[in-house]
Amino acid sequence: MYLTKEEERILDGELGNIKAKAMRILATLGDIFNADKLIPIQSTQISGISYKTIGDAGMNFLKDWSDASVVVESRMNPAGMDLENWKQMGVPKEFAKKQLRIVNALTSMGVKKSCTCAPYEAGLVPERGTHIAWSESSAVSFANSVLGAMTNREGGPSALSASLIGKTPNYGYHLVENRLGEIKFKVNFDLNDLDFSLLGYHIGKIAQNRIPVIEGIKKANREQLKSLGAGAAASGGVGMFMVKHITSEYSERDNIEVLNVHQSDLENIVNQFANCSSYDVIAFGCPHSSFKEIKQIIDNVKTTKEIWICTAREIKERALKELKLIPKNIKILADTCMVVAPVKEIGIDCIATNSTKCAHYSQNLSRIKTLLKSKEDLLNET
């Protein structure tokens, strides 16, 4: 990959050892993925924030890099706890101590302490056609597919490197010619809210890291597309999807494979994640809820079961201010989510959710039991 003279000087250490390593990461990834050059980016979103996922290894790395400063707008993915109300969550003290070290290291680099997997709900909305370097898989999918911004599926260190340099290698989804559907799914039945998450999970498993195009969906709102994208990014490596007549970008390669989706495909996923009958907590907000969704949950809740709604801190603060009557069984948690929080240590054995992404990681990462239901069913259960 071609480096400018200025970039080469950074690689040689002109701006210090850490920026030299950051530049080496970008240059090496550029070489591996056949990028021609580095391109400027508008923002980054950095994953690998929770102590639960990165452990002492990641914590020590971030502490060692904390003297360097970011040069573009940079945000964090969710941490392992609500940074203010972790005691009420039941998070162990030792975990909290290490989690705060991670967040403090990033904050001192200039990364904003807005810990969310959905920065686009919390004021960071990249414009169509702009280049960004985001790493949370559901945010990557939403940014590429719904917002029309351009990002690859970055890892934590590569997104951080992009933050420090302000650039990313030009390959993959940054190139218009690569933003083409590679496998087609036909849907010929109506979808409810949960179905969008199930459909995403189903197509992700098959598409893996190809771009799926979906035909036959009559209408879909922003929340539904968000669920679809998160599901597809969790079961496969889908970084971008297209829905005919709905997403603004819709174009496909010639002679692509076409598959029909059956209702039974979606039922199979519900069954795959149905491994308990009673549950400790209902989890909403995977990906993080918008203000609108929180209001809708509070307006319609009938169950007295404990409910977690995970969201960005900005949205939690707005909800606490504007939504006066929040039932006692509803906990609005900021900065974190049920995927990256130490749920097992908190004492949760089974989680009920409307998100296939939440169910997937609860089972495979947190090793707890799951139940998948629609939001309506969960809110009405007694």
Residues that bind another protein (CB under 8 A): 21, 24-25, 28-29, 31-32, 47-48, 53-58, 60-61, 155-158
251 token code pair: 């174009």
The three-point CA angle 247-218-268 to 5° equals 95
Distance of closest approach, residue 64 Cβ to another protein, in angstroms = 8
> Going by C-beta distance under 8 Å and a sequence separation of 6 or more, which residues neighbour residue 247?
145, 146, 225, 241
Separate counts of helices (H) and strands (E) for the chain: 15, 15
DSSP 177: G
- CB of residue 54 vs another protein: minimum separation in angstroms? 6
CA angle 59, 63, 64 (to 5 degrees): 120
Q: What single-letter DSSP state applies at residue 144?
A: I
Give yes or no for a contact between 212 and 183, defined as CB atoms under 8 angstroms apart.
yes
**Shortest distance in whole angstroms from residue 372 CB to another protein:** 24
Q: Given the complex with another protein, which of 65 and 185 has the nearer CB atom?
A: 65
Least distance from C-beta 34 to another protein, angstroms? 13
Give the nearer residue to another protein in terms of CB position, either 153 or 184: 153
Smallest separation, CB 216 to another protein (Å) = 34
Which CB, 168 or 311, lies closer to another protein? Answer: 168
Q: How far is the CB of 127 from another protein (least distance, A)?
A: 27
Residue 12 or 190 having the CB closest to another protein: 12
Which residue number, 29 or 348, has a Cβ lying nearer to another protein?
A: 29
CA gap 211, 292 in Å, rounded:
29
CA distance 47 to 78: 8
Question: Which runs of consecutive H residues, i.e. helices, occur in 236-371?
Answer: 263-272, 291-300, 313-322, 343-346, 356-364
Beta strands 38-40; 167-169: pairing state = antiparallel
Closest CB to another protein among 85 and 104?
104
Name the residue with tokens 């909800």.
Answer: 319
Query: Among residues 201, 192, 131, 202, which one has the least CA distance to residue 162?
Result: 131
Which residues lie closer than 8 Å to 39 by C-beta, 6 or more apart?
A: 131, 167, 168, 169, 170, 174
Do 165 and 26 contact (CB within 8 A), yes or no? yes
- Of 57 and 325, nearer to another protein (C-beta) is 57
Minimum Å gap between C-beta 102 and another protein is 11
> What is the closest distance, in whole angstroms, from the C-beta atom of residue 88 to another protein in the complex?
28
CB of 28 to another protein, least distance (A): 5
**For another protein, the closer CB: 171 or 284:** 171
Specify the residue, 20 or 270, whose C-beta has the smaller distance to another protein: 20
